[in-house]
Amino acid sequence: MIPSKPLAGLKVVELGTLIAGPFASRICAEFGAEVIKVESPDGGDPLRKWRKLYEGTSLWWFVQARNKQSITLNLKHEDGREVLKKLLSEADILIENFRPGVLEKLGLGWHVLHALNPRLVMVRLSGFGQSGPMQDQPGFGAVGESMGGLRYITGFEDRPPVRTGISIGDSIAALWGVVGALMALRHREVNGGQGQVVDVALYEATFAMMESMVPEFDVFGFIRERTGNIMPGITPSSIHTCGDGKHIQIGANGDAIFQRFMRAIHREDLASDPALADNAGRDARRDELYGVIDRWAASLPLSEVEAVLVRAEVPASRIYSAEDMFKDPQFLAREMFLSAKLPDGKPFKMPGIVPKLSETPGGVEWTGPQLGEHNQAVLSRLGYSAEQIAALKDGGAI
């Protein structure tokens, strides 16, 4: 018997576009929730056209919307809003990432929806949250990363701040949104509570990840600055260039690990130096140590550097490209690439499921749907007849 997924039985309605809201609902869909994605009839989620397209549709879309049902609703149309209210009257979670106030202007604010369905959990993802002097301002993930502190500390000290390479602020906010939704559901189911609002601001989602930044400033007036690939106080831990021009991250900052590493590269003098027995001592001589490691790494190709580090049990990793990942036995053993098919039948790989649950694992049943692909099925389940659905379409509501 195949076990049910852990979120089976939950109904989630997504009023989201692009990254934060859709990523949150994607996680729910992967673990068994019925996710109904509401899109504008006029083109749908812009993510459908982002980055690399295959026959006019984003490859990202096929991943971000997997396991979801797509319906089209014109929320500026009264009949479209009525369909949404019917959906929400029986939903467990609403995930939305509009600018604060948009749903209120449509007559779909929290108080209206809570009265309609007291059990509803409403996850609201926005740039600055649902309160405060900046609540009405637009904010993307890049803005949240900047205000939340991530951009300030990312990069090299002699250059301007840089981005991390992906829209990490949006994805972090999505994760907090799912965590909050599950907390709210537990309160509802275990404590007998009602639904509530989960208010996630992108800048706060990033800010929450900033480690010891707040107490360090408050107690010492210390402002963490950009330090490139190293972190002062944790030495040695950095990226090094090998003799063949390839790069490797080496984290030898544990006391015993450092000693093993130095012996492996024939530096017994450093391994046995009492001044280097702890992080504080090593950090005081970090330029010397990084010079030693740089010269050693540069003397060998990446494969030989890796072999030495594996034998010495030193945490390390080459800097993986997508090509590296596709060939890596660890990725393959953990099923981090799932096989799927594009609409024309062409096979392709998509990312596997995270996290791994031993008894009720998540999975992918289908890839991102066509715009409005599930209009008929969803509206029929809500009690609309074929004639009523046709009338909604003719009237511009769907």
How would you classify residue 155: left for phi > 0, otherwise alpha for psi between -120 and 50, otherwise beta?
Answer: left
Task: Please state whether beta strands 57-58 and 53-54 pair in parallel, antiparallel, or not at all (unpaired).
Answer: antiparallel
Contact by Cβ (8 Å): 69, 369: yes
- Residue 115 to residues 123, 371, 382, Cα–Cα distance (Å): 16, 30, 19
Structure tokens at 383: 């009690």
**70: helix, strand or coil:** strand
Report CA 63 to chain centroid distance, whole Å.
13
Structure tokens at 97: 């990432």
Selection from 137, 41, 20, 16 nearest residue 370 by Cα:
41
Structure tokens at 281: 């001592």
What is the per-residue burial (b if ≥16 Cβ within 10 Å, else e) of 211-228? Answer: eebeeeeeeeeeebebee
* Catalytic one of 45, 92, 136, 170: 170
State the DSSP string of 202-259.
HHHHHHTT-TTHHHHHHHH-------TT-BTTB-SEEEEE-TTS-EEEEE--SHHHHH
d(CA 62, CA 370): 9
CA end-to-end span of the chain: 39
Structure tokens at 213: 């930044």
> What are the residues whose beta carbons fall under 8 Å from the beta carbon of 36, sequence distance 6 or more?
11, 12, 13, 14, 68, 69, 71, 87, 374, 378
C-alpha dihedral over 97, 112, 44, 364, to 10 degrees? Answer: 70
How would you classify residue 127: left for phi > 0, otherwise alpha for psi between -120 and 50, otherwise beta?
Answer: alpha
Query: CA 287, 288, 291, 297 torsion: positive or negative?
Result: negative
Q: Is 244 a catalytic residue?
A: no
d(CA 32, CA 25): 11
The catalytic residues are 170
